[in-house]
Amino acid sequence: MNQPQQFNRPNQQAETWVISRTDEGFRVYSPADPAKSYIVGGGPDDSTCTCPDFQYHEGDPHWRCKHIQAVLDQLGIKADATARRTGAAGDSE
Ligand SMILES: [Zn+2]
């Protein structure tokens, strides 16, 4: 069946990332392409990434690239679209 395209990246949920901690933040890369690694820094509410995708969306504070998403996912932080604070989970600070 030929369905119309609903999203730009229909396969994004299937992506796997290798994440390792560094002094600057988290180094994120795809096992399929380890030469392209990016650094995700900042906090959950203020994450940054060194990938071109993130630079492109720099003006949008709510936009997260797939690397940031992967790191937040790894940390167990729910990246809700509503961006509500996780009061119930408690702060680890
Ligand atoms: Zn990125």
Q: How many angstroms separate the alpha carbon of residue 76 from the centre of ligand 1?
A: 18
Domain count, the chain: 1
pLDDT class of 45 with cuts at 50, 70, 90? confident
Top-confidence range, 25-29, 72-76, 85-89: 25-29
Per the domain annotation, does 51 fall within a domain?
yes
Residue 28 C-alpha to ligand 1 middle, in angstroms?
8
User: What is the 92 CA–ligand 1 centroid distance (Å)?
Assistant: 24
Sign of the CA dihedral with 55 first, then 57, 59, and 60 last: negative
The domain in which residue 27 lies consists of 14-74
pLDDT over 50 at 72, yes or no: yes
Asked if residue 47 is part of any domain, the answer here is: yes
Does residue 84 lie within any of the structural domains? Answer: no
38 falls within a domain: yes
Q: Please report whether residue 4 resides in a domain.
A: no
Q: Within 13 Å and on the Cβ side, how many CA atoms surround 50? A: 12
